[in-house]
Every structure is written in C-alpha cells, then in structure tokens.
Amino acid sequence: GDMLFTERTGKLRMVHGGKLLAKPVEGVPQVLNTSMFDGLLDVKLDPEFAANRTIYLTFTTGTDTERTGTIHKAPLEGGRLLDGHVIFNTAIPAPAGGPNIMRILFMPDKTMLVGVGSGGQGSRGMVQRLDNQSGKIIHLNRDGSPVADGPFAKTAGARPEIWATGFRNPAGLPRAADG
C-alpha cells in the first residue's frame, strides 16, 4: 500500500499508510535540474521487488549544454537507497531540453523498455539516427546491458539497445493485455 513518487527537484518521496512522509528518501543521486525538462523523472520497482527491494530511477545529469539521460539502480531499505549505481547513460549528450521523459516499462521476461525523449533533437534528425538514443524506445536487461538480438543489434553503427525509433517524447509506455 505504500507509494513512491519523484519530484523533478531530485527528491524521491514516499506515501505510507495514506500519508506523505515528511522526510524524503535518502541516498538519491544528484540530478541536473536547470530546466523544466530536467530532474528526477521516473521510479519503477524491480519485477522481483518483494525479494530484492530494488528500484530504478531515471534522471538528467550533465550540464546546461550537455545533458545525459541516466538510469540508476538501488535497493530501498528503511527510507534510504543503499549501494546504488548507474546502469545506463545515453550515448550523445544533448543541449537544453533533453534527453527527457525517460520512462521504464518492465516486460513479462523482466527486461525493460525505456522511452527516451528527443530533447528537442527532432529537427537535427536525431530521432531517426541509430547512433544515439534520442527519441527512441530502448530494450535493456536489468543490469543496463542491451537485450541480445534487438532489431538493430546487427546493423553497422547502430546502438544495439535500440528497439524502436522516431519518437518525440514517449511520455508513457503502456502494454496491452495481449502483450
């Protein structure tokens, strides 16, 4: 019955017993928060959270002119993230506005799809290029490595984690009942 949610400013908050806890979760990594597109973005529980207490966070790091999308993995114990580490960073730093809207969806096989926003890079053709993750859906294992045999895994010059291209800002990743 508890709930976790992110605040763009870099705070991870918890609702317990229907009440917002006054103290934010400790151990959250520092995030870049200089525009309305930056900050702490998504939080997802590991598919085996009951056993491993692991959560995943997505956020923006870098500088005003070179932003990077980041995925961080850490166990949550007693209102604190312990021994967390970065498992994935986007390949090409983007200017103001991106990357953003990094959303995670766990699949039935416990791999994850991650929607990475275009960060305003659509006009530069970044969403169609295969050398970056801007405007893409990427497919990762829970350790941040690309899932084997992705659709672009054997394409020269392509990032092997790319699953789908050509998105502006995949702000949600639903999965239909039939998979």
DSSP states along 31-43: ---SSTT-SEEEE
What's residue 98's pLDDT?
Answer: 60
**pLDDT at residue 69 is higher than 80:** yes
Average pLDDT over residues 138-162: 96
Mean pLDDT of the chain: 90
**pLDDT at residue 36 is higher than 80:** no
β-bridge partners, 74 = 55
The percentage of residues in the chain with a pLDDT greater than 70, rounded to a whole number, is 93
**pLDDT at residue 1 is higher than 60:** yes
β-bridge partners, 113 = 105, 139
| Distance from the first to the final alpha carbon of the chain | 26
Of 97-101, 108-112, 117-121, the least confident: 97-101
Q: Please give the residue that has the higher pLDDT: either 153 or 96.
A: 153
What's residue 158's pLDDT?
Answer: 95
Of 1-15, 121-135, 165-179, the least confident: 121-135
**CA atoms within a 13 Å half-sphere pointing along the CA-CB vector of 2:** 12
**pLDDT at residue 59 is higher than 70:** yes
Work out the pLDDT band at 47, boundaries 50, 70, 90: very high
Q: What is the pTM of this model?
A: 0.92
Exposure string over 92-103, b if 16+ CB within 10 A, otherwise e: ebbeebbbbbbb
Average pLDDT over residues 129-135: 88
Sign of CA dihedral 86, 68, 172, 10: positive
